[in-house]
Homo-oligomer: A and B are copies of this chain.
């Protein structure tokens, strides 16, 4: 029942453990006879090298920890962060790493410490993380990269989208299609992405000579569908009386939550109101009407995070900080020209 060891193979093959090790790992010389014998036994006995023992001597586990800092569910199934995780999984497999996925509802050191005890080769930190957690991780000298974090940190590789540019794209698109009265639902401004999306949007809108926009910015406490719905229902009076022709939310979930409320009030989208989101989560295309949005390349985020982390782990010199990812406006059914 127990897995056979190199020792057992050596015994049966009539050679030393060293020889078996060399043959299996492919490092060093071996005679064809020994090779045939050993490889035959490996096959026959279904020998699987013990990665734990290997890690012990090589001081490399080939494991990477993904830390998803989220206070609540969903975690891995999050419509945005889950996409990053998926890409991480795929790229990690390509580079022969295994992935520990962990979360830390308490936003404490706990899960980071746990990963350190497991001696992961590196860490991928996703979403909101406090400065103190980063300091803590840094103090252990373990390689890590951040993905879409709340804030930039000096010297830390941080993979993010050009969110300000994305916000600008939304503003230009809406103004160029004739919208002037725009209602904005702005996600938590403590998070870099929501902050920059709003900033890019408002800056651009002002440049287009639209002033009223300011008054129509609603702050969302979270970035969820429920929150979008809630805000819209709370501000329904103001919205209706404001003569708004468009709505922009700093992410898709907020946008769709708001949209659902509007649809329930029999507001016709896009005939009466155009709606734009941000992220391009899967559901954006599925919603009815499908949502015009700015696509964030979450696949690239995940892929890059693994590649960069791998470079850090392998101690490559001068690992270049990544360029911010280029967003792309995707026009769907939820918007129209006036």
Chain A window 122-151, contacts with chain B (Cβ cutoff 8 Å), 1 for yes, 0 for no: 000000000000000001110000000000
Q: How far is the CB of A155 from chain B (nearest CB, A)?
A: 16
Chain A interface residue count, CB cutoff 8 Å, equals 58
Residue from B79, B98, B256, B259 in contact with A100 in the complex, judged by beta carbons closer than 8 Å: B98
Chain A window 1-35, contacts with chain B (Cβ cutoff 8 Å), 1 for yes, 0 for no: 11100000000000000000000000000000000
Q: Check if A89 sits within 8 Å of B103, measured CB to CB.
A: yes
Q: How far is the CB of A276 from chain B (nearest CB, A)?
A: 17
Chain B residues within an 8 Å CB radius of A320: none
Chain B residue nearest in CB terms to A141: B1
Chain B residues within an 8 Å CB radius of A139: 46
Known: A99-B100, A100-B100, A103-B93. A282 touches B74 (CB 8 A): yes
Chain B residue nearest in CB terms to A55: B52
Q: Check if B56 sits within 8 Å of A116, measured CB to CB.
A: no
Q: How far is the CB of A99 from chain B (nearest CB, A)?
A: 6
Q: Check if A51 sits within 8 Å of B118, measured CB to CB.
A: yes
Chain A window 48-72, contacts with chain B (Cβ cutoff 8 Å), 1 for yes, 0 for no: 1111110110000101000000000
Q: How far is the CB of A100 from chain B (nearest CB, A)?
A: 5
Chain A window 96-111, contacts with chain B (Cβ cutoff 8 Å), 1 for yes, 0 for no: 0011111100000001
Q: Check if B98 sits within 8 Å of A99, measured CB to CB.
A: no
Chain B residues within an 8 Å CB radius of A73: 86, 90
Chain B residue nearest in CB terms to A53: B56
Known: A48-B113, A116-B48, A140-B3. A86 touches B93 (CB 8 A): no
Chain B residues within an 8 Å CB radius of A99: 100-102
Chain B residues within an 8 Å CB radius of A111: 93
Interface residues in A206-257 by Cβ distance below 8 A to B read 225, 256-257
